Structure 1
Amino acid sequence: MSTPADRFRALHERPEPLLLPNPWDAGTARLLASLGFEALATTSLGVANTLGRRRASRQEVLDNCREIVSATPLPVNADLENGFADDPAEAAAMVADAAEAGVAGASIEDYTGDRAKPIYDFELAVDRVRAAVETARGRVVLTARAENLLHGVDDLDDTIKRLQAFEEAGADVLYAPGLRTLDQMRAVVLSVGKPVNVVMGFADPSITLDQLAGIGVRRISIGGALSRLALKSFMAGAREMRAGRFGFVADLPPVSELYRAFG
């Protein structure tokens, strides 16, 4: 009998890319499932947004994994940031805890959380992925993330070098958030042999699904963009209300539509 991780892995192996949206609670997970998405991914930014903080805690991220896993039967990939630890074994323990929470996949990144030195040294970054791979093996699909481009290190060559090393260390999926152009994405895809995830929350929005498929991207996520979009709509409606106008209610979805999604 196949496991959620088996089903999630198979979605990376077919010809068409996997569209992987990012809910932040049970309700948004069920709404996305109602639209026919085949898998979901958590977003640590989305969790932090619901808490009104810059960052969620380790336990809050794990609790959110459980909430989203239990909301639908779809496989779930967990955004585990840097594993909430510098040490490879401690970061890998986060992967183990996420697996216990029922996720089918998990990502680990090389961003330190320290703005003064945002990216782990190369060897430590690879050691962290290697430890995470050992923990993930047979339990979850492991995504390794190279975070240079999001944190002021505008070096695509180093980013590719890291992804290649993460692949050699055994990562199942490779991911460099911050790729903006189709040429950058193509360069990454051609440099590695494992499936590549592209996040469109930071990319040129004119890029289409067909174009991404054409260059060999295997998975497309959106990060915290749907959460940010929801908050933008919330703030626009609240500002209109504060100004004494209520035109936004004309655009509300029927409650019955929500009820159908929520079952």
Structure 2
Amino acid sequence: MTYAHRAAEFRALHRTGEPLLLPNAWDHASAAALARGGFPAIGTTSLGVAVAAGKADATGETREETLRLARGLARLPALITVDIEGGFSERPQDVADLAAELALAGVVGVNIEDGRPDGTLADTALQCELIGALKEAAPDLFVNARTDTYWLRAGGAGETERRAVAYQQAGADGVFVPGLQEEKAIAALVDGVLDVPLNILFAPGALTFGRLAELGVRRVSSGSLLFRAALHGAVDAAHSIARGGAVPEGLPSYADSQALSAAYGKGAGQ
């Protein structure tokens, strides 16, 4: 299957059937396991990628780690979208170069955020330039424009809608609003603001996948949740061994885990 066909298939997952449930991986093994579990599309979590490399998230320091991981994941039997934080640069040309490299590797989507390490939001005009640069460099790449208005408590629904419209006009294929769990605000974005799919971050104890679907959300991401669950599970299993307790049943065997390394196939465009 050609890159264009894979990109079209990923785009279609946002428009047909149930919303796309996008699990987020942090390394080859986690992505390969999710692909083996039947998920047609897999994203990456910038927190997981950064922490696994001993670096901080959202500081723009993991461009090489992200690109290296993306090149490998794009060879898996799944559609891959990559979290590129804020683009790892505020220079449109740098961001365009990254988009071209990712598309060449076979990655079909990216997630770019407007939150900055100092807790502020990027200038809207600059963010629109970065989105435009991504689309110009890789027209088939699905650009999911994330706004951190709710996470940073910056402007609420009004600012969220303003940025959503601006990002959509700049060429974004989808808009992502992590932290948003207000039904009226979600419905307003879906029904009166956006012509592109809305992505919401799943939050335990908040709106369910089913309710988000009813509200018109077209993509639900797990974000760093699976990575954090894996960390918790590892520590919990170690404590259980020390206490003489039982570890969870159904764990992958050594052979099952080893087999994940064989999930690399030919490149996505080959």
2:195 corresponding residue in structure 1? 193
Once the two structures are superposed, residues 184-204 of structure 1 have per-residue CA deviations (whole angstroms, 9 ceiling, x without a partner) of 32222222111111111xx36
Shift in Å, 1:73: 1.5
Cα distance in 1 for residues equivalent to 2:39 and 2:255: 17
Contact kept, 8 Å, 1:83 with 1:92, in 2: the verdict is no
Cα distance in 1 for residues equivalent to 2:174 and 2:6: 16
Higher relative contact order (CA 8 A, sep 6+): 2
2:212 corresponding residue in structure 1? 212
Contact kept, 8 Å, 1:66 with 1:101, in 2: the verdict is yes
Q: Which amino acid aligns with 2:92?
A: P
Contact kept, 8 Å, 1:80 with 1:95, in 2: the verdict is no
1:123 corresponding residue in structure 2? 125
23-32 or 176-185: bigger deviation:
176-185
- The 5 A counterparts of 1:28-107 are 28-55=30-57, 57-70=62-75, 72-107=76-111
12-21 or 179-188: bigger deviation:
179-188
Cα distance in 1 for residues equivalent to 2:21 and 2:107: 17
Q: Which amino acid aligns with 1:107?
A: N
TM-score, reference length from structure 1: 0.88
Once the two structures are superposed, residues 187-228 of structure 1 have per-residue CA deviations (whole angstroms, 9 ceiling, x without a partner) of 22222111111111xx36342222112111111111111001
Contact kept, 8 Å, 2:19 with 2:219, in 1: the verdict is yes
2:166 corresponding residue in structure 1? 165
Distance change >3 Å, CA 254–CA 226, structure 1 → 2: closer
Runs of 5+ consecutive residues of structure 1 not aligned to the other structure: none
Distance change >3 Å, CA 114–CA 206, structure 1 → 2: closer
2:253 corresponding residue in structure 1? 255
Contact kept, 8 Å, 2:124 with 2:166, in 1: the verdict is no
Give the root-mean-square deviation of aligned CA atoms: 2.2
1:141 corresponding residue in structure 2? 142
Contact kept, 8 Å, 1:23 with 1:41, in 2: the verdict is yes
Contact kept, 8 Å, 1:80 with 1:94, in 2: the verdict is no
127-136 or 253-262: bigger deviation:
253-262
Shift in Å, 1:42: 1.1
Cα distance in 1 for residues equivalent to 2:117 and 2:13: 31
Q: Which amino acid aligns with 2:190?
A: V
2:267 corresponding residue in structure 1? none
Alignment length (residue pairs):
255
Cα distance in 2 for residues equivalent to 1:183 and 1:27: 39
Cα distance in 1 for residues equivalent to 2:167 and 2:154: 18
What secondary structure does 1:253 align onto? coil
TM-score, reference length from structure 2: 0.85
Give the % identical residues.
Answer: 36
Shift in Å, 1:144: 1.1
Shift in Å, 1:65: 0.9
Q: Which amino acid aligns with 2:151?
A: L
Contact kept, 8 Å, 1:167 with 1:174, in 2: the verdict is yes
Runs of 5+ consecutive residues of structure 2 not aligned to the other structure: 263-270
Cα distance in 2 for residues equivalent to 1:207 and 1:14: 21
